């Protein structure tokens, strides 16, 4: 990847992080007027989650829990996750999409204390800037990514396919936005 594309990717990640932060602070008002949010509010929610029946993966930023969904029913979860971190919020969205999977990915932006690229095993990328579900401690955040324990990361990697819808939401904001309808 060229330096220009890497810088643009970081800029998009920072902007997405600011939008995600604004969405949480403003109880969802930042997302409420978007076409994707308005379409989501017309869909049924999966009971026990803040997400809709068309999502394949769901993350609740409030509870730090995630689910896999099939045909509007919970397939797996809730499982613990860690989101955000290193000054980057996990992007919020109703219609994020899986665009790439890489079982052995290493980050070119996050580094280990030794300076080596940080491993991101079982990565399922769903937003620009390298934001992915991946294996890691659900007790430690990961620069905007969603950390899952190894068994859950394997399940996410095996189940999700390119094009699948991912929803990353605040359950409190979703409840407030839906109450206004």
DSSP states along the chain: --HHHHHHHHHHHHHHHHHHHHHHHTTTHHHHTSHHHHHHHTSPBPTTSSSBTT-SEEEETTTTEEEEEETTEEEEEEEE-B---TT-PPPPEEEEE--EEEEEEEEEEEE-TTSSEEEEEEEEEEETTTEEEEES-TTS--TTSEEE-HHHHHHHHHH--TT-EEEEE-HHHHHHHHHT-
Per-residue pLDDT at 27 exceeds 70: no
Q: Model confidence over 127-145: pLDDT tens digits?
A: 988 899 999 999 988 889 9
| Higher pLDDT, residue 160 or 108 | 160
- Give residue 131's pLDDT: 94
Phi-psi region of 175 (alpha: psi -120 to 50; beta: other; left: phi over 0): alpha
Q: What is the mean pLDDT of residues 78-82?
A: 98
Partners of 52 in the β-ladder: 45
Which structural domain, as residue segments, surrounds residue 8?
A: 3-179
**Average pLDDT, integer, range 165-180:** 93
pLDDT at 32: 65
Q: What is the arithmetic mean of pLDDT over 83-97?
A: 90
**pTM for the whole thing?**
0.81
Backbone angles phi, psi at 150, to 5 degrees: -60, -45
pLDDT class for 103, splitting at 50, 70, 90?
Answer: very high
Length in residues, the chain: 181
Torsion 96-180-80-13 (CA) sign = positive
How far is 59 from 84, CA to CA, in rounded Å? Answer: 12
Mean pLDDT of the chain: 84
Mean pLDDT lowest among 27-31, 114-118, 119-123, 177-181: 27-31
Alpha-carbon gap, residue 2 to 177, rounded angstroms = 40
How many domains would you assign to the chain? 1
Question: What is the distance between the alpha carbons of residues 124 and 145, in angstroms, rounded to a whole number?
Answer: 10
pLDDT band at 31 (very low <50, low <70, confident <90, very high): low
- CATH number at 123 reads 2.40.440.10
Residue 45: pLDDT band by 50, 70, 90 thresholds? very high
What proportion of the chain, given as a percentage, has pLDDT over 70? 82
pLDDT of residue 50: 96
């Amino acid at each position: 990847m060229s330096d220009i594309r890497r810088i643009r990717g970081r800029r998009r990640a920072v902007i997405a992080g600011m939008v995600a932060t604004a969405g949480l602070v403003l109880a969802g008002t930042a997302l409420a007027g978007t076409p994707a949010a308005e379409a989501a509010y017309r869909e049924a929610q999966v009971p026990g989650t803040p997400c809709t029946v068309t999502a394949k993966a769901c993350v609740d930023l409030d509870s730090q829990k995630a689910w896999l969904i099939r045909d509007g029913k919970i397939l797996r979860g809730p499982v613990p996750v860690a989101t955000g971190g290193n000054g980057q919020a996990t992007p919020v969205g109703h219609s994020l999409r899986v665009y790439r999977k890489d079982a052995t990915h290493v980050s070119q932006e996050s580094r280990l204390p030794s300076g080596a690229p940080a491993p991101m095993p079982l990565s399922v990328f769903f937003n620009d800037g390298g934001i992915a579900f991946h294996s890691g401690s659900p007790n430690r955040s990961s620069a905007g990514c969603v950390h899952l324990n190894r068994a859950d990361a394997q399940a996410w990697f095996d189940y999700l396919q390119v094009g699948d819808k991912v929803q990353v939401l605040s359950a409190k904001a979703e409840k407030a936005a839906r109450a206004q309808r």
